[in-house]
Structure 1
Amino acid sequence: MEKAEASVSEDETKTTEKPTRAGFVALIGATNAGKSTLLNQLVGSKVAIVTHKVQTTRSVIRGIAMHDDAQIIFLDTPGIFAPKKRLEKAMVTSAWSSAADADVLAVLIDARAGLEGGALAILDRLQESGAPAQKRVLILNKIDLVKRETLLALAAEANARLSFAQTFMVSALTGDGIGDLLNYFAGEMPQSPYLYPEDQVSDIPMRSLAAEVTREKLMLRLHQEVPYAATVETESWEEKKDGSVRISQVIYVARESQRKIVLGKDGETIKAISIAARRELHHMLGRKVHLFLFVKVRGRWADDPERYREMGLEFPR
């Protein structure tokens, strides 16, 4: 009799347990469509760097959001454009590979630019791929900057070229429409155990995220070709007894002339970059940060397979 009671109790426990969901959403779009800003809004924390410059994101960034009973892993992909250099080819290949493997493919379009600036080419390629329409959603971003009638016309034009399961209109900057997106994505995730701890917002190691923060400040500070010719690596991360952290990073550039630009007159530029990066890292980590930056020349680093592995990219042959 006791065994029967125990059996009923176990069955009741199984039926009352709420099934969990987990899956992947790939965010793809042309450069400067606002993917990284949207990712940070969806996750509720900064996990991807954001600048006004194109091609800021170089590799796939994973941001993790918990919503209702679902764990949604967002893949922020590099902006899709017509690549010319080896690094650019690796970035675009990475974006398309992530899109192919995701449970939901979210196509982000800058509502101000419309289908110009690369969005049309993305829609055409997706049409050729034969991917199921129920897997795709259209997101029109920056709706706070565009009139409603323009948005409706753009949505109709995009859907005429490529069918989507749903169309959303959001402002990644203000957060308008983010709740509707999360509700939809959560409902589309397949039943699965959670793939990451529930309090984790990214799978990026802190050493790598710290390097990205410094690269963001470098891109915001410098202009022309220098930001695109530079990469940042965290060489050491030392936990101090007082709870602070000592971080040593190297900014690699391709030429000596670029090194001088990054340093600036009397070291003013590198100092400004260091101060901005240290402030943000202090805010992210919630503790004091001692940041030391060095600038070195590494000729043709963009042709070095090891650098691609550091960035999580496949080296194109």
Structure 2
Amino acid sequence: MTSTDFDNRKCAFVAVIGAPNAGKSTFVNHMVGAKVSIVTHKVQTTRTSIRGVALSGKAQLIFVDTPGIFKPRRRLDEAMVSAAWEGADDVDFRLLLVDARAYDAVLRNAEPSRADVKAAEDTDLIIENLKQGNQKVILVLNKIDLLPAENLLPLVQHFSDTGLFEETFMISAEKARGTDAVMTFLTENAPQGVWLYPEDQLSDISDRLMAAEITREKLFLRMHQELPYSLTVETESWTRTKKKELRIEQVIYVERDGQKALVLGQGGKSIKYIGQTAREEMETLFGEKVHLFLFVKVRENWTDSKARLHEMGLTLTT
């Protein structure tokens, strides 16, 4: 690469914010071209801000995947919402990702579900907070594949009337529709600057933390409605066997004995399945043989512990 090429490099931080389950992690993973954030159908899956790095021409775009923003009820919720707003500070672009299908159902009063109403309320709360700043925001209407085309224009007009957004994009992150236009806009408008990450680095998340996130994802997917969000996964040991194969030991922390029984399942069936699916994905991700050992422990009221939340990269202001 010539010196001129280095002089023409661009670098931008792109914060992706939105209500829970708007599709932020799916969007970031697609833009980066690799899985850097776990994805489940459960709301509030993402708990801390994660940076995914994408290269587009001479631009390095650092996407900040943030936790969903909503009205908190627990201390864990407060810490997650705080992390989301912190992730949106001092960035070059703020993207508000909106679940278009859910908001449209509420806007037209088309028998919206309870989850739709909550998503719309959370989005309105975010918009009101964003209006307090002086930075324009980019609106990204996601999940448009789930809407009739004639519903889109009134939806766009509704958000345009807020006066907050400088650009609007309509996409389906899951179907990779409309995302190229977002990437082109960010690339063309990114400021000049040196790249902050090596060309081959896709995320700022460590392998140890990514391994814990993978297991947490499999827990959420397996347990469905039975398991509350009061669980976390920690990678406690990362060693090599005599054959130089990767050996990972993780602890799944829950708050009550009853939750521990749910995670284990009858005859250990659930924990066995979770371990198998997590190990298989880790082997694909790390490109080597993985020996995964899972343990379940009770840690009462960990969601209210400042120290425990700090270990997860979360902070409480009170």
TM-score, normalised via structure 1 length: 0.91
Partner of 2:134: 131
Percent identity of equivalent pairs: 51
Partner of 2:156: 155
Partner of 1:177: 178
CA shift, 1:152, in A, is 1.7
For residues 17-28 of structure 1, what are the structure 2 equivalents within 5 Å?
17-28=6-17
Partner of 2:199: 198
Q: CA RMSD in A?
A: 1.6
CA shift, 1:117, in A, is 4.2
Measured in 1, the distance between the counterparts of 2:58 and 2:138 equals 21
Partner of 2:313: 312
Pairing 1:101–2:87 present: no
Bigger mean CA offset, 180-189 vs 51-60: 180-189
Amino acid across the alignment from 1:285: F
For residues 140-289 of structure 1, what are the structure 2 equivalents within 5 Å?
140-224=141-225, 226-240=227-241, 242=243, 244-289=245-290
Equivalent residues of 1:243, 1:288 under 8 A apart: no
Closer, same or farther in 2 for the Cα pair 1:15/1:303, shift >3 Å? closer
Measured in 1, the distance between the counterparts of 2:242 and 2:12 equals 39
Partner of 1:7: none
Among 54, 75, 85, the residue aligned to 1:65 = 54
Measured in 2, the distance between the counterparts of 1:14 and 1:52 equals 46
Measured in 2, the distance between the counterparts of 1:40 and 1:58 equals 16
Measured in 2, the distance between the counterparts of 1:28 and 1:171 equals 16
Equivalent residues of 1:243, 1:287 under 8 A apart: no
CA shift, 1:132, in A, is 2.4
Measured in 2, the distance between the counterparts of 1:65 and 1:243 equals 32
Closer, same or farther in 2 for the Cα pair 1:167/1:280, shift >3 Å? same
Equivalent residues of 2:25, 2:37 under 8 A apart: yes
Equivalent residues of 2:78, 2:316 under 8 A apart: no
CA shift, 1:16, in A, is 6.4
Partner of 1:118: 122
Measured in 1, the distance between the counterparts of 2:17 and 2:226 equals 25
How many correspondences in the alignment? 302
Equivalent residues of 1:86, 1:316 under 8 A apart: no
> Unmatched 5+ residue regions in structure 1?
1-12
